[in-house]
Amino acid sequence: MTNTDMANVDPGKQIEAQIPDLKRYARSLARSEADANDLVQDCVERALLKWHLYKPGTNLRSWLFTMMRNVFISQKRREAVSQRYMSQAVHDESTIARPSQMHSVYLKETVQAMEELSEQERSAVQMLGIDELSHQAAAELNSLPVGTMKSRLSRGRANLRTVLQMSDGDL
């Protein structure tokens, strides 16, 4: 068949005639029959989709072999990225600390201790310790001198340490 005759033949027929050679090449790349069959199928699918890029008169077998090699390399790269991701995910999984029930217990105890404070001390601890307002801003919100806010915060922290049985540096 000449090149002009090949241009008139259905692309599926032209590709189909190359399948035995594609299978041999795929086996040499993939090293397993199942992977080779998948590789041939992927190559044929891509060739049919990209048929408009094939230049009649050029070597169809070379075009298909090049396509198969590129498909194979892309698959191997994808597998490598997937394996790196999985190994990283497994590594990350082992380094992540699981939630401890103790944090929940400490939080409940702290909330209960906060409820035992006077309203003024609780407000000072809330604004300055939890909401992280500046002493000046908290004092202005309560229409109090800055020293009074500092004093309430100090007394509130001391009372929390006592109720929670903590040392001076813990709170």
Q: Which 3 state secondary structure label does DSSP give 5?
A: helix
Q: What is the mean pLDDT of the chain?
A: 86
Boundary (domain end) residue, out of 52, 76, 95: 95
What is the C-alpha to C-alpha distance for residues 77 and 74, in angstroms, rounded to an integer?
Answer: 5
Boundary (domain end) residue, out of 36, 68, 95: 95
pLDDT at position 170 is 60
Boundary (domain end) residue, out of 95, 127, 150: 95
Number of domains present in the structure of the chain: 2
Whether residues 89 and 15 share a domain: the answer is yes
Q: Is pLDDT of 98 > 80?
A: no
What is the pTM (predicted TM-score) of this model? 0.48
